[in-house]
Amino acid sequence: MELEIKKDLTSNWFKMLQDSICQKISEIEKNKVEFKSTIWKRNHKKDEGGGEFKILENGKVFDKVGVNFSKVHGKFPKQFQKNILGAKKNPNFWASGISVVMHMKNPLIPAMHFNTRYICTTQNWFGGGIDVTPSKKDNNEKKEFHKILRNMCNRHNKNYYLKYKKWCDEYFYLPHRKETRGIGGIFFDYKKDNFEKDFKFIRDVGTTFENIFQKIIRKKIKNKWTRKDKEIQYIKRGRYVEFNLLYDRGTKFGLQTGGNVKGILMSLPPLAKWK
């Protein structure tokens, strides 16, 4: 398959998935709160693509949820080339992806994060993952969440789940706090074995995320929570901010390469506390 066709297939899928996820979120909000959409361009002087991020705030269910789509191309700044697979000698890249971060009003429902991307340098690969950050422990929820991910992974390759779960645990870790960001999930990068199989997996990760967030939210949407639960959530969100600003590679990379700041930082919670 030609590379241009792969780029079209993947970016169209990410765009479609953005619409589909936004629609499901709107349904959960009973269509009473609207997403605000921002369309941005990477470069105003020449065409280097851009994206659209959609943010819904102050809902009945979501405090803040961002659903970000981008499709960009250009040249990596020199100082980053060495860190990027396949870009050591050639700075040209193309990248498309979708990322979602959900900060929930009900503190008994975990924050949820999902991302998939397709990146082309002199090599072409997929990356992404799903992970969940509760502020209140719930072992059943954790088990159920990982079971869905394991089943999904097993549909594609019996080795994926353990490998990607481990990668997730290692990635979403705050060394200064000696704690994980949440209860893990899956995380993968540099996935470039076989485009058709990999893309099938990527689509499955997307639709599985749709199932997961609806399931988790519906299960607890009516559960009563206390002021104290909310305070614990605010502190947990402080940790979320610490992770994203101190360690997250995507955040750092985006900010250092002149990405859209509001789009990149949409992952930050609406309100966080430190004590």
Cα distances from 140 to residues 143, 149, 177, 207, 265, in angstroms, run: 5, 14, 25, 22, 31
Q: Which stretch binds a copy of itself (CB under 8 A): 121-129, 158-166, 197-205, 242-250?
A: 242-250
The Cα 52–Cα 229 span in angstroms is 34
Structure tokens at 132: 């969940």
Structure tokens at 50: 């851009």
The Cα 148–Cα 211 span in angstroms is 9
Can you tell me which of 80, 242, 249, 250 binds a copy of itself, judged by CB under 8 A?
A: 242
Q: Quick check: 238 binds a copy of itself (CB under 8 A)? A: yes
Q: How far is the CB of 243 from a copy of itself (least distance, A)?
A: 9
**Which of positions 8-27 make contact with a copy of itself (CB under 8 A)?**
none
Number of residues this chain uses to bind a copy of itself (CB under 8 A): 23
Structure tokens at 95: 């990248």
Can you tell me which of 176, 224, 227, 228 binds a copy of itself, judged by CB under 8 A?
A: 176
Whether the CB-CB separation of 9 and 64 falls below 8 Å is answered with: no
- The 38-57 site mask, x for binding a copy of itself (CB under 8 A), equals -------------------x
Can you tell me which of 9, 16, 221, 272 binds a copy of itself, judged by CB under 8 A?
A: 272
Q: Quick check: 200 binds a copy of itself (CB under 8 A)? A: no
Tell me the one-letter amino acid at 182: G
| Closer CB to a copy of itself, 39 or 255, in the complex | 255
| Closer CB to a copy of itself, 29 or 138, in the complex | 29
The Cα 11–Cα 17 span in angstroms is 10
Tell me the one-letter amino acid at 206: G
Structure tokens at 16: 């479609």
Half-sphere exposure of 88 (CA within 13 A, CB side): 2
Q: How far is the CB of 255 from a copy of itself (least distance, A)?
A: 4
The Cα 222–Cα 198 span in angstroms is 38
Q: How far is the CB of 274 from a copy of itself (least distance, A)?
A: 4
Q: Which stretch binds a copy of itself (CB under 8 A): 6-14, 146-154, 186-194, 238-246?
A: 238-246
Active site members: 113
Q: Which residues bind a copy of itself (CB under 8 A)?
A: 57, 175-177, 234, 238, 241-242, 245-246, 252, 255, 261, 264-265, 268-275
